[in-house]
Structure 1
Amino acid sequence: MTSLDVVSLSRLQFGLTALYHFLFVPLTLGLSILLGVMESVYVMTGRAIWKEMTKFWGLLFGINFAMGVATGITMEFQFGMNWAYYSHYVGDIFGAPLAIEGLMAFFLEATFIGLFFFGWEKLSALQHLTVTWLVALGSNISALWILIANGWMQYPVGAEFNPATMRMEVTSFMEVLFNPVAQAKFVHTVSAGYVTGSMFVLSISAYYLLKGRHVEFAKRSMTVAASFGLASALSVVVLGDESGYTAGENQKMKIAAIEAMWETEPAPASFTLFGFPNLEKHTTEYEVKIPWVLGLIATRSQDKEVPGIKELVAQAEQRIKNGLVAYDALEKLRADPSSVTEKARLDATAADLGHALLLKKIRPDVRNATPEEIAQAAWSTVPAVSPLFWSFRFMVGLGFYFIALFAVAFVLASKRRLDRYRLFLWAALLSLPLPWIAAELGWIVAEVGRQPWVIEGVLPTFLAVSNLSAANVWTTLIGFVVFYSTLAVVDVFLMVKTAKAGPQAPRTEPTVRLAAAE
């Protein structure tokens, strides 16, 4: 087997484990906030049914949280196991947010989740409410630091290449922290998580109403889910637009591939609502376009053109040529570290060094690359167009569907008619898996759209892998598939069993007001 097989297998392994782990992250984010809302109502009103709601949805949250932890830990092992050169090359930068996430967020979340489950009889109402909100805070801070790390992979700021150590090193941690791509990804991702949590509560509550069980419990749960879900679904669309703008500024090839836009789109740029990308002819057939929309998303203007794939490939070809100058200067500088001339050449072209590394997939002695090989390397910067084109459109379509569904739920909740329309209840129940599908599609758009880079413009993916045999990767891949499949069966079994059993009947107890709880 060739090194390409190792790269493909390592990518497949990380992709599968990441997609599986991301099944649990959105629900953790969404349910944690909903638990805080429900318990806040309990503390303010003292009505026992809100306490039972918090306990029941908290039990499902706990099952999901445990699975998320188990799958997340195995993902981090892969950085050292399958992606050793990546860890060596950018570990000083990428490792810092992950370490802070573990110290600041995960320990906060993991510590207080125990108090959430076992502190009901030991803490006052206000103290337990504080614990619940700290769990929610920990969940969201955890997502923030993970997305800061991922955002840096998409848009590497606050770092530069050090020829003495042959590694990327931090120059400004504040730039890493306030990376605009990371911030846009964070607010968009957590909003998607809130939609997932809301849909989870809405769908299971709809099941209870269809069965005529736990009616008052289900109505109140649906009311909270409808209100929070509508606000979150609207936020996803608005904040997704911000992600589109940051990608239009910093990842132009991703935007062009999502649009299957081979030629540069003149201002005001139109958005392709529908079409069929033809990869052989480099065209998109049967296009249906909406005028001006792409210009607003990608450039926030109507007077700027949006570059197409062909133009961006030409720019990549020029960057590869500049990168070859940097590569040559680096080699000579390593032979003579005191050379002022070569240091100046490297400083002038270092930003394009990563593009020259694309040639290593074609030939090891990149300084002898032919014009044809440079052109081939330039075209390798185009990610998979068809998966991006369709994933994005299905994701956006689902986003607008969520707005419509939660809007209907909100109106029915306002009129106290949630149990009157079985067609709506069936729609809510059958919509349960859709937020996860939308979230996975969003992950595909973000990560496949970055290829062929593991660090955008800095390090090609094929260079980032460990020096492993394909047999070793196959072994761990099969092991992860078996392990994750087992966890999936356990998770589904526990979730279905708990949801079918439903909440415990509220115990008869006096109304507990906030003052009394003090």
Structure 2
Amino acid sequence: MIDMTVVELSRLQFALTAMYHFLFVPLTLGLSFLMAIMESVYVMTGRDVWRRMTLFWGVLFGINFAMGVATGIVMEFQFGMNWAYYSHYVGDIFGAPLAIEGLMAFFLEATFIGLFFFGWNRLSKLQHLAITWLVALGANFSALWILVANGWMQNPVGAVFNPDTMRMEITDFMAVIFNPVAQAKFVHTVSAGYVTGAIFVMSVSAFYLLRGKHKDIARRSIAVAASFGLASALSVVVLGDESGYAATEHQKMKLAAIEAMWHTEPAPAGFTVIGLPDQSGQSNRFEIKIPWLMGLIATRSLDGEIPGILELVERAEHRIRGGQLAYAALERLREDRTDTAARAAFDAHWSDLGHALLLKRYRDDILHATEQEISQAALDTVPRVAPLFWTFRIMAGIGFYLIAFFAFAFWVVTRNRIEESRRFLWIALWSLPLPWIAIECGWFVAEYGRQPWAVEGVLPTFYAASGIALKDILISLAGFVIIYTGLAIVAAKLMLKAIEKGPDVLAPPAGDDAPAAVDDDAPESDGRALDALDPAPAARA
């Protein structure tokens, strides 16, 4: 029998490390493009203030990038430590995009980051601008391959189970790359990262304006972030709708759980704005619904039907029985690989094999499972509804708030009243944590909503875990929490220290003898290499 305590602690460990890591990834994505935009303006205008902006935000980007690397590399080793059977079962598919991410995207990004910081005096303006854009593209390529791997876990296309090797093997790598779920997740995730970068720039710049410091850089930074953030916030909602449409096609149970839709409704289904899901009673209390809205969003039609949770449980029970046929055929093939009848039976039902593996939680001999065990295994395909219901609404609510926020910011900037709008500056400052809250909620919905599957419909989560001792899990879990919390504190302190020093120290005006306060429209002088967080420039200033 499987020790579910070990499984749950393994899940908790991976969730904590992944969510710690994703504190840094979105800001890396957003700041990289904002830096590229700022340096593009510098190259076009020759005004030194734009070079200083690029350098200043580049220091904060570098701190964040280093922390992202430190938390991300360790996270991947958990596949071999806590999820060894997962690595064996689907490593042929899952490992390929991760390897490409490391070899192509990550090394590309890391190499050009070095050139970004140390190439100001060694490269021409156009060459350095190309480097900055390559840093931004490298960050996005890195996210692409990670999300291709994750998207395959949500919608496992381009692969089949090989009864000869007893593992999943890739058959169409292009199908894996162009997986509709992966593509929808990629554009939605990177857009959320752009919003995070824009909010970060606006919040820090608002802090400077409220204190009357570094106005030349703060005003321009807010102008760039307001425009970039508005376009990104709008795209997050549009691309989030595309991600939801992909879930309608490929992850029906997740969608039904997010909406707490227990029964199939006549098309088009209504959208539950608020309510109290009751999983034991399989109903919702105090719900407020908008007629037709969910059907229009999820199916983009008036007649498209969204199946409810209970109907999907019935479908799962049918697939479990089909999976038992595949498992029986597999047992015969293991005894005689030339058994053509068994091979034909397996080929007809292999796609349901993962559902049969859900019975392994209750008995090893799944071919003799009772009706009660089959019913319970089918009911296990329902994730916990209330956490999904509420985290999705928190994410969506913050998303719509950010659209309104950036729209107002854009209006204030176009009217050139940013310094006069002190109330708005305070709102910008206190809005800083909202993108991170929304993003973490989004990842929770994506990953928790897939349960009980490590790979949707293919490999149950409890079956993917390593059989390691409980004490080892507890020790590693405590170690990860302590180390990652320490890294988060270090990152926060470094960022705050850099912000306190300000752009006049981290990105001084060109020329050793230039004063700290410079003309906003000063022409370019010879560049100087960045000396991040070095107190010497402060003394000179």
Question: Normalised by the size of structure 1, how large is the TM-score?
Answer: 0.98
Match of 2:165 in 1: 165
Match of 1:405 in 2: 405
Alignment of 1:466-485 (within 5 A): 466-485=466-485
Equivalent of 2:523 in 500, 511, 517: 511
Match of 1:434 in 2: 434
Question: C-alpha separation between the residues in 2 aligned to 1:290 and 1:496?
Answer: 44
Corresponding letter in the other structure for 2:101:
E
Structure 1 vs Structure 2: percent identity of aligned residues?
A: 67
Question: C-alpha separation between the residues in 1 aligned to 2:92 and 2:340?
Answer: 27
Q: 1:303 deviation in Å?
A: 0.3
Q: 1:33 deviation in Å?
A: 0.2
- Is contact 2:105–2:141 with CA below 8 Å preserved after alignment? yes
- Is contact 1:43–1:512 with CA below 8 Å preserved after alignment? no
Question: C-alpha separation between the residues in 2 aligned to 1:293 and 1:94?
Answer: 36
Corresponding letter in the other structure for 1:506:
P
Alignment of 1:306-325 (within 5 A): 306-325=306-325
Q: 1:296 deviation in Å?
A: 2.0
Match of 2:176 in 1: 176
Alignment of 1:56-205 (within 5 A): 56-205=56-205
Corresponding letter in the other structure for 1:158:
G
Corresponding letter in the other structure for 1:314:
E
Question: C-alpha separation between the residues in 1 aligned to 2:458 and 2:525?
Answer: 58
Match of 1:419 in 2: 419
Question: C-alpha separation between the residues in 2 aligned to 1:441 and 1:500?
Answer: 30
Corresponding letter in the other structure for 2:60:
L
Question: C-alpha separation between the residues in 2 aligned to 1:16 and 1:210?
Answer: 35
- Which SS does the other structure have where 1:165 is aligned? coil
Aligned CA RMSD, in angstroms, stands at 1.3
Q: 1:228 deviation in Å?
A: 0.1
Summarize deviations over 1:409-466 as a string: whole Å, max 9, x none: 1001101111111111111000001000000000000000000000000000001111
Question: C-alpha separation between the residues in 1 aligned to 2:21 and 2:44?
Answer: 36
Count of matched residue pairs: 514
- Which SS does the other structure have where 1:467 is aligned? coil
Summarize deviations over 1:74-112 as a string: whole Å, max 9, x none: 111101111110000000100000000011100000001
Gaps of 5+ in 2: 527-541
Question: C-alpha separation between the residues in 2 aligned to 1:448 and 1:485?
Answer: 22
- Is contact 1:86–1:464 with CA below 8 Å preserved after alignment? yes
Q: 1:188 deviation in Å?
A: 0.2
Question: C-alpha separation between the residues in 1 aligned to 2:320 and 2:279?
Answer: 23
- Is contact 1:266–1:304 with CA below 8 Å preserved after alignment? no
- Is contact 2:101–2:146 with CA below 8 Å preserved after alignment? yes
- Is contact 1:105–1:138 with CA below 8 Å preserved after alignment? yes
- Is contact 2:29–2:139 with CA below 8 Å preserved after alignment? yes
Question: C-alpha separation between the residues in 1 aligned to 2:77 and 2:268?
Answer: 47
Corresponding letter in the other structure for 1:148:
V
Match of 1:386 in 2: 386
- Is contact 2:2–2:361 with CA below 8 Å preserved after alignment? no
Question: C-alpha separation between the residues in 1 aligned to 2:114 and 2:431?
Answer: 31
Question: C-alpha separation between the residues in 1 aligned to 2:377 and 2:278?
Answer: 21
Question: C-alpha separation between the residues in 2 aligned to 1:266 and 1:121?
Answer: 66
Match of 2:16 in 1: 16
Q: 1:513 deviation in Å?
A: 9.9
Match of 1:335 in 2: 335
Question: C-alpha separation between the residues in 2 aligned to 1:195 and 1:3?
Answer: 41
Q: 1:4 deviation in Å?
A: 1.0
Q: 1:170 deviation in Å?
A: 0.5
Q: 1:297 deviation in Å?
A: 2.1
Question: Normalised by the size of structure 2, how large is the TM-score?
Answer: 0.94
Match of 2:369 in 1: 369
- Which SS does the other structure have where 2:275 is aligned? strand
Question: C-alpha separation between the residues in 1 aligned to 2:84 and 2:2?
Answer: 18
Match of 2:496 in 1: 496
- Which SS does the other structure have where 2:168 is aligned? strand
Q: 1:467 deviation in Å?
A: 2.0
Corresponding letter in the other structure for 2:198:
S
Q: 1:336 deviation in Å?
A: 1.4
- Which SS does the other structure have where 1:277 is aligned? strand
Corresponding letter in the other structure for 1:165:
T
Verify: 1:260 aligned to 2:263, yes or no: no
Q: 1:468 deviation in Å?
A: 0.7
Question: C-alpha separation between the residues in 2 aligned to 1:506 and 1:220?
Answer: 16
- Which SS does the other structure have where 1:285 is aligned? strand
Q: 1:477 deviation in Å?
A: 1.0
Corresponding letter in the other structure for 1:47:
R
Corresponding letter in the other structure for 1:106:
F
Alignment of 1:208-357 (within 5 A): 208-357=208-357
Question: C-alpha separation between the residues in 2 aligned to 1:265 and 1:203?
Answer: 44
- Is contact 1:45–1:513 with CA below 8 Å preserved after alignment? no
Question: C-alpha separation between the residues in 2 aligned to 1:497 and 1:266?
Answer: 57
Q: 1:173 deviation in Å?
A: 0.4
- Which SS does the other structure have where 2:503 is aligned? coil
Q: 1:506 deviation in Å?
A: 2.8
- Which SS does the other structure have where 2:274 is aligned? strand
Question: C-alpha separation between the residues in 1 aligned to 2:481 and 2:360?
Answer: 31
Q: 1:131 deviation in Å?
A: 0.5
- Is contact 2:2–2:462 with CA below 8 Å preserved after alignment? no
Question: C-alpha separation between the residues in 1 aligned to 2:291 and 2:48?
Answer: 54
- Which SS does the other structure have where 1:288 is aligned? strand
Summarize deviations over 1:476-500 as a string: whole Å, max 9, x none: 1111111111111111110111112
Summarize deviations over 1:104-140 as a string: whole Å, max 9, x none: 1000000010010111111111111011000001000
